Chain A
Amino acid sequence: MNTMMQKSPIGGKRAIVLSTNGIGKYFFDPVKFKALDDVSFEAYEGEFLTLVGKSGSGKSTLLYCLSTMDTAYEGDIYIKGEKITGKKSDELAAIRNENIGFVFQFHYLLPEFSCLKNVMIPARKLGKYSYDEIESRAYEKLKMLGLQEQALKPASKLSGGQQQRVAIARALINNPAILMGDEPTGNLDSKNSAIVFDIFKEIAHEFGQTIIAVTHDNDFAKASDRTIELADGRIVNLDKSDF
């Protein structure tokens, strides 16, 4: 799978980083309900991909399946060519640690830790580098996001926009292949949304990392490389030109 190349919508030959094959997902409470139905698509290296759709269309549900945190689905998911469907939860945790960064609507920073220490957490779990190396890498990430001044402040003492940028730095610390976001700008004003958007674009286009972001923001989606639209758990549109 790793070597499999395909023509991406924005031109050039790119590697597939994530692909799904007929994802289906049921909820049983309160009644049996199909939230995802036969969802198949690919995401490419360095691609800024957005998921859109009406409320309740299954965007978050799909993202959590892709994230490896939700394992109760039908079909298969591949990350960097490796089938992750059916793996044990400890293996999935290690895969997430190394390959996937998360940004949510809420920042989920640990309030007792400084910004710098929050950013360091996934890298310290990965354990690939020494503490001091991780610290300087984390500092680099914060600097890139314009937060060098805030590095040593407790996470709880920052503004909402700053907190979201710290969360992005944390998501990027292990240089994951994929950055996933569930309405990452949902809580931000237009100015901060624009900052986050620019960061995502830079990450995708300059560092070649793939971004899969759920959004309600039409401008945000339009400016991304490609948009997948969901309706009632099915993909209704794979190409942004038709969006």
Chain B
Amino acid sequence: MKNNINIDIALTHIFTRKKQTFVAALGVTIGVGIYLFMNSLDKGFSRYSMDEIFKNNAHIKIYKNDEISKPLTTEDSSSLRVIINPQITTLSKKIINPEALLATVKSQSFVTNAIAQVNFDAFYNRGKAQIKGSGNGVNMTEYAQMFNTNKYMVAGKTEALQGNLNGIIIGSGISEKLNLGLNDNITVTSSFGVVKVMKIVGIFTTGSSMNDNAKSYVNISTAQQFIKEGPAFVSTLFINTLDANNPEPFVQKLQQLTSYTVEDWKTTNADVLAGNKTREAMMGAISMAILIVAGFGIYNILSSTIMQKINDIAILKATGFNGSDVVKIFVLEAIIMGAIGTMMGLIFGSVLIGIMSNVYMGGPVGYFPIGFELPLFIRSFVLGMVITICAGYFPARKAAKVDPVEIFRK
């Protein structure tokens, strides 16, 4: 207070007009609070849907895509054309020499983990009841590491499958529908007619019925028996990389190593990602609009302060304050109101987040997927301050342009 007269004047205006200060700050509080809350909500949702995606997807997968027959044509347009009906010509979804490919993939510096999987169509039977699903032959230890399967186990352990060629881990939906529990026997039939009676060594529940009602895990060699193939048969390679968010360059590098289809999780889940983006844009726009409205609150209150203080501004300019002093005084007032409002807004937003994170949604979601994200707090603070400074600057500029002569003549 003792040092700078501009600061002294600004603080005096703020303190002698507590009600206006509070109202202006309150607008910012609501704006920043809602901005923080909505964006945390959005972030929580995105994180949740990412988690859902990575339950079933590695960063990159390599598989053999269906081949379509190509019409036979020649470059020469005058010659005869052979038109044929394009057809899928895939004979087998097998990856040839998977061991070598897996080894090459693993040797890439950006690859953190890579595993092989054998897929087969499975029918789970108990008496007359039958459920159609899909079996996955995997090295369960490596698989659990990549997909966090241990987190979803509700009975038994993933390790129990290791080396147990007769063991199977099934989804909770299958277990419920067939009324089968841990250590019970289940009859599994493949589309190739292979029938096996297997022992349930684990049950998982991921929250998505698509998985829980259909999926099961067995050892790779068991899966190969189900499709009547030898140990060289592998249908998919799953690969995790250093950076899940930017798989594209890794895809390009891997594609140079193999002629099979290399696909990242973004391509596989393009629909989910597009949905996320739309939601992000909408939430962002709405919350930003609320924040800007708060800025107008500051603008209004500062403008009216300036109208009321026009005599003070005139005498200050007469006694030697220049335009930039006047701008500083009123921008400082905006900053103080904005800082109070932004701080209260962060608290308000935190309270909303706290309440929301305790709301139980039920189903696979459980508690509302929302949390405290430091980057969002920083962004809300910065935006709150930037908007109030802008909202303060324009009336302050107007105040700086007050012509004292015009005031004194009145």
Interface of A toward B, CB cutoff 8 Å: 60, 64, 67, 69-70, 89-90, 93-98, 101-102, 104, 106, 108-110, 112-113, 117, 121-122, 124-126, 131, 170, 182
Contact B405 A102 (CB under 8 A): no
Contact A96 B320 (CB under 8 A): yes
For residue B322, CB closer than 8 A to chain A, the reply is: yes
Per CB-CB distance, the 3 closest pairs between chain A and chain B, nearest first, are A97-B320, A124-B5, A108-B315
Contact A96 B318 (CB under 8 A): yes
Contact A96 B319 (CB under 8 A): yes
Beta-carbon nearest neighbor of B320 in chain A: A97
B315 contacts across to A, CB distance below 8 A: 102, 108-110
Contact A131 B318 (CB under 8 A): no
**A interface, by DSSP: helix, strand, loop or mixed?**
helix
Interface of B toward A, CB cutoff 8 Å: 2-5, 8-9, 12-13, 16, 311-312, 314-325, 403-405, 408-409
- Tell me the minimal C-beta distance from A23 to chain B in angstroms: 15
A101 contacts across to B, CB distance below 8 A: 319
A124 contacts across to B, CB distance below 8 A: 4-5, 8
B323 contacts across to A, CB distance below 8 A: 89-90
Q: Give the residue of A89, A108, A112, A121 whose beta carbon is less than 8 angstroms from that of B5.
A: A121
Q: Give the residue of B9, B12, B317, B408 whose beta carbon is less than 8 angstroms from that of A93.
A: B317
Complex Cα–Cα for A67 and B404 (A): 11
Contact A70 B405 (CB under 8 A): yes
A102 contacts across to B, CB distance below 8 A: 315, 318-319
Complex Cα–Cα for A89 and B404 (A): 12
Complex Cα–Cα for A106 and B320 (A): 18
27 contacts between A and B (CB under 8 A): A64-B405, A67-B318, A89-B322, A89-B323, A93-B317, A93-B320, A93-B321, A97-B320, A97-B321, A101-B319, A102-B315, A102-B318, A108-B312, A108-B314, A109-B315, A110-B312, A112-B16, A113-B12, A117-B8, A121-B319, A125-B5, A125-B319, A125-B320, A126-B320, A131-B2, A131-B3, A170-B319
Beta-carbon nearest neighbor of A94 in chain B: B320
Complex Cα–Cα for A64 and B408 (A): 9
Beta-carbon nearest neighbor of B312 in chain A: A110
A110 contacts across to B, CB distance below 8 A: 9, 12, 312, 315
Complex Cα–Cα for A60 and B406 (A): 11
B311 contacts across to A, CB distance below 8 A: 106, 108
Contact A60 B409 (CB under 8 A): yes
A95 contacts across to B, CB distance below 8 A: 320
Contact B3 A69 (CB under 8 A): no
Contact B322 A93 (CB under 8 A): yes
- Tell me the minimal C-beta distance from B36 to chain A in angstroms: 34
B8 contacts across to A, CB distance below 8 A: 117, 124
Complex Cα–Cα for A95 and B319 (A): 9
Complex Cα–Cα for A101 and B16 (A): 27
Complex Cα–Cα for A131 and B89 (A): 92
Contact B319 A69 (CB under 8 A): no
New contact pairs (16) apart from A60-B409, A102-B315, A106-B311, CB-CB < 8 Å: A67-B318, A69-B404, A89-B323, A97-B320, A97-B321, A101-B319, A108-B312, A108-B314, A110-B315, A112-B12, A121-B319, A124-B5, A125-B5, A125-B319, A125-B321, A131-B3
Q: Give the residue of A69, A93, A108 whose beta carbon is less than 8 angstroms from that of B405.
A: A69
- Tell me the minimal C-beta distance from A108 to chain B in angstroms: 4
A89 contacts across to B, CB distance below 8 A: 322-323
- Tell me the minimal C-beta distance from B323 to chain A in angstroms: 7
Complex Cα–Cα for A110 and B316 (A): 9
B314 contacts across to A, CB distance below 8 A: 108
Contact A69 B312 (CB under 8 A): no
Complex Cα–Cα for A60 and B323 (A): 23
Complex Cα–Cα for A108 and B404 (A): 11
Beta-carbon nearest neighbor of B317 in chain A: A93
B2 contacts across to A, CB distance below 8 A: 131
Beta-carbon nearest neighbor of A102 in chain B: B318
Contact B404 A125 (CB under 8 A): no
Complex Cα–Cα for A42 and B88 (A): 106
Complex Cα–Cα for A94 and B325 (A): 12
Complex Cα–Cα for A90 and B314 (A): 15
From A94, A95, A104, A112, name the one whose CB has the most chain B CB atoms within 10 angstroms. Answer: A112
Contact A98 B5 (CB under 8 A): no
Contact A97 B319 (CB under 8 A): yes
Complex Cα–Cα for A182 and B315 (A): 13
Q: A108-B311, A110-B312 are in contact. Are A122 and B319 (CB under 8 A)?
A: yes
Complex Cα–Cα for A131 and B2 (A): 6
B322 contacts across to A, CB distance below 8 A: 89-90, 93-94
- Tell me the minimal C-beta distance from B333 to chain A in angstroms: 13
Beta-carbon nearest neighbor of A131 in chain B: B2
A125 contacts across to B, CB distance below 8 A: 5, 319-321, 325
Complex Cα–Cα for A112 and B333 (A): 15
- Tell me the minimal C-beta distance from B330 to chain A in angstroms: 15
